[in-house]
Amino acid sequence: MSTFTDYKKELMDAAHNERIRIALSRAIASYRANTNAALKKFPHTIKMAEEVRAIKEKAIGEMEKLAQQACEAIESNKGKGYIAKTAEDALNIIDKLVGTGKLIVKGKSMTGEEIELREHLEEHGNEVYETDLGEFIIQKLGSRPMHILSPAIHVPREDVAQLFSKITGQQLSTDIETLVATARKLLREKYFEANIGMSGANVVAADTGTLFLIENEGNIRLATGAPPVHIALVGMEKLVPTLGDACKVAEVTWRYANYTIPSYVSLVSGPSKTGDIEKVTTYGAHGPKEFHVIFMDAGRTELAKHPILRQALYCLRCGGCLYECPVFAVTAGHFGDKYFAANGAVWAAMISHDMEKAASLAYTCLTCGRCKVRCPMKIDAPQMIVAARERILQGK
């Protein structure tokens, strides 16, 4: 069977899955209500989003320069910065830092998903724990994320209860609080036993080398704060010139991800240090002694050259578009690959170079354009889709 036939079957199975539809319709209603409320409370966000679009347009054109600058800043903060040209390079750098037989706690990262980082580390004899609750569920289910921010959006509580009962060997109720407490208990010690903590980043300020980590659960703070080593894998599109720019990007990101303010935003620029004894700077006080940041290109600078498809790199990964997509509403992330919907199609064509997958996704887009109305970056998905289809048919 062809890729398209398999894909279509998967899509239709999802479309006939009542659970996905119920989970999604609830999520969509609550996303819209929360986002409208957040934008009403902080109306400056809309203007700020326009500013951010300008920041991103410029930054995407100079990713290599910004990555260089960020590496220098991180080095001067006594961390280590790396530029990985390809996914393979990134994995090689990580292999050298990690080795084998390590216990790793991980924050959720789409860039990690992109290069199948967890699977890679496990294959190299490491024990990896996803610490984001949704991602933890996905990992234990052996499934894949179905939304960029809410990876387990398609899994109802009954299924989580069943899964956690199996893991703990106890019969757990479907009470959500109980399930959250179970995950907390399962992961708690891992943070302190772990050799390495891993994360991505939502945005990075090149001038100071500062990573912005936006979250609500608190798992990223623990995963990047407790272990002795912190390794961050960052797509180069996350770089912006200054700390001020990064603050704006972060605020727009969480607002369109339906939050007035998230519970936690960590700014990490270097390893933990203290000068409290005789003003002698010593590294590895309470936090990690080592801080490594890998800026990954893997096709991004190439994608940036395309006048229309480069818009995919402006994406802040707020996930808003997905809640407005009529196809996503009935199929969730099955309308996707590494990323979802229109951006997923562009990614498959330009980054993964999987043309059959790209064609399948590109022709699943209705080109209805409602996602563009939602998008804080005003990414023109229909325009990208038509350009992607053209490119796919040209065999490029």
Partner 1 sequence: MDKKSKGLIPPGLAYMADNVISKHNILGASKGAGAKWAKDLNLPKEAETIFFAGCGYQYSGELESLMSLVRKMDKSAIGSELPMGIAGLQKKLGIDLVGVYRKVSAKGGDSEGEPLKDAVKVLSKLGVKFGYLADDEPCCGGLLHYIGLQDEFAQNARQVYDQLKSHGVKRIIGIVPSCTYTLRNLMPKYIEKYDLEVKHFVEVALEGIRSRELRFPREVKVTYHDPCQLGRYLGLIEQPRQILKAIKGIELVEPQWASGEWATCCGGGGGFEAVFPELSEILAVNRAKELVDTGAQIIVTNCPGCIMQLKDGLKQLKIDNVEVLDLAQVVAMAMEV
Which residues are near partner 1 by CB under 8 A?
A: 2, 4-5, 8-9, 11-12, 15, 32, 324, 326-327, 329-331, 355-356, 359, 362-370, 372-373, 382, 386, 388-395
Amino acid at 178: T
User: CA-to-CA distance for 64 and 75, rounded, in angstroms?
Assistant: 17
- Alpha-carbon gap, residue 252 to 247, rounded angstroms: 9
* CA-wise closest residue to 207 among 237, 243, 172, 232: 243
Q: How far is the CB of 344 from partner 1 (least distance, A)?
A: 16
- For partner 1, the closer CB: 298 or 359: 359
Tell me the two tokens of residue 199. 């994360």
The minimum distance between CB 232 and partner 1, in angstroms, equals 37
Give me the residues paired with residue 230 across strands: 197, 291
DSSP state of 336: B
Q: Helix, strand or coil for residue 376? A: coil
Cβ distance 269 to 236 under 8 Å?
no
Between 142 and 307, CB nearer to partner 1: 307
> 342, 288 in Cβ contact below 8 A?
no
Of the pair 14, 110, the CB lying nearest partner 1 is at 14
For residue 175 the two structure tokens come to 């009470």
Indicate the residue among 22 and 393 with the shorter CB distance to partner 1. 393
Nearer to partner 1, 97 or 368 (CB): 368
- Phi, psi of 211, rounded to the nearest 5 degrees: -90, 130
Q: Is the CB of residue 266 less than 8 Å from the CB of residue 220?
A: yes
CB 331 to partner 1: min, Å: 8
Distance of closest approach, residue 375 Cβ to partner 1, in angstroms: 12
Nearer to partner 1, 151 or 333 (CB): 333
CB of 12 to partner 1, least distance (A): 6
Closest CB 305 distance from partner 1, rounded Å: 19
CA distance 40 to 52: 19
Looking at beta carbons only, is 167 or 373 nearer to partner 1?
A: 373
User: Residue 391 Cβ, how far from partner 1 at the closest point, in Å?
Assistant: 8
Closest CA to 121 of 105, 132, 136, 137: 105
Residues 81/75, Cβ–Cβ less than 8 Å: yes
State the nearest-atom distance from the C-beta of 385 to partner 1, in Å: 8
Closest CA to 107 of 326, 238, 264: 264
Closest to partner 1 by CB, 15 vs 186, is 15
Closest of 215, 201, 291 to residue 246, by C-alpha: 201
Residues 6+ positions from 211 with CB-CB distance below 8 Å: 199, 201, 204, 232, 234, 266, 267, 268, 269, 293
| 264/222 Cα distance (integer angstroms) | 11
Identify residue 6 by its one-letter amino acid code. Answer: D
**Least separation in angstroms between CB 374 and partner 1:** 9
Nearer to partner 1, 2 or 170 (CB): 2
Q: How many residues does the chain have?
A: 396
| Minimum CB–partner distance for residue 40 and partner 1 (Å) | 14
Residue 36 structure tokens? 């409208």
Closer to partner 1 at the Cβ: 230 or 357?
357
